[in-house]
Structure 1
Amino acid sequence: MHRYKGTLTVAVLQERPLADEEIEELREAFTEFDKDKDGLISCKDLGNLMRTMGYMPTEMELIELSQNINMNLGGSVDFQDFVDLMAPKLLAETAGMIGLKELKDAFREFDMDGDGTITIEELKHAMLKLLGENPNRKEIEAVVREADNNGDGTVDFEEFVRMMSKN
């Protein structure tokens, strides 16, 4: 696959906010460990909570978290702090799972004139906007050629999905 494909996939996904279901999953887990219902969990409980959610933090990670929590958060974590700590882990876990909504949103970003296809110029503009890179025309043509299954010189949504979903 062309060198830009993985970078484009990451650029499309990295800005994704946590989904409502993910926040609800975090809330349920947090509530379970908030024994005295004061909206806070102790630093010690954080490691156990992470383990029940399937994350296996190393002792070093727990020490770093603990130091951060003790210095910045008074020795305990409220729900928002917990979300802030866990969001990167959840997003990293789901980075390989691109949903149809994310693909449609990304396709709309690339398809600037809304005609249902991505041209070489649109892809070049999108890469500059998303990646801050200005690849040369030959590189862009190679990406389009690789994705363009029907040979019309553009990338339609089906081709875009196939391109973004390839390993």
Structure 2
Amino acid sequence: MADIEEARRTFDQFDADGDGFITAAEWKSAMAKMGDFYMTETVAEAVIGAKDSDADKRLSFDEFWASLKK
């Protein structure tokens, strides 16, 4: 996914409360909506942590976009 517009749409789907950040709980919920019922909060925290460049335990769009471009 290298298209920034598509990335923004995906980010917005994950950002359930619309605050501009994706938390582990939002990640887990979005994955469940896509059929991954095995995503745990712990795994979601690890996924967020791997992409979270400022270590605030949530993903901004810039962090999300940077992770997609790698």
TM-score over 0.5 for the alignment?
Answer: yes
* 1:82-137 superposed Cα distances (whole Å, 9 cap, x missing partner): xxxxxxxxxxxxxxx5211101100100001110000111000111112x112112
Q: Which runs of 5+ in 2 are unaligned?
A: none
Aligned equivalent of 1:45: none
> Are 1:102 and 2:9 counterparts?
no
Q: Which amino acid aligns with 1:101?
A: E
Structure-1 separation of matches of 2:33 and 2:2:
20
| Alignment TM-score, normalising by the size of structure 1 | 0.40
Runs (4+) off by over 4 Å: none
CA distance in structure 2 between the aligned counterparts of 1:125 and 1:163, rounded to whole angstroms: 20
The TM-score normalised by the length of structure 2 is: 0.90
Q: How many residues align?
A: 69
RMSD between aligned residues:
1.1
Q: Whose radius of gyration is greater, 1 or 2?
A: 1
CA distance in 1, matches of 2:41, 2:26: 12
SS of match in other structure, 1:152: coil
More helix by share: 1
C-alpha distance in 1 between matches for 2:41 and 2:18: 22
Q: Which residue of 2 aligns with 1:159?
A: 63
Q: Please, which runs of 5 or more residues in structure 1 have no aligned partner?
A: 1-96
What percent identity do the matched residue pairs reach?
A: 38
1:32-111 to structure 2, matched below 5 A, reads 98-111=2-15
Q: Measure how far apart 1:162 and its partner are.
A: 1.3
- Where relative contact order (Cα < 8 A, 6+ residues apart) is larger, the structure is 2
Note the C-alpha offset of 1:148. Answer: 0.6
1:124 aligns with 2:28: yes
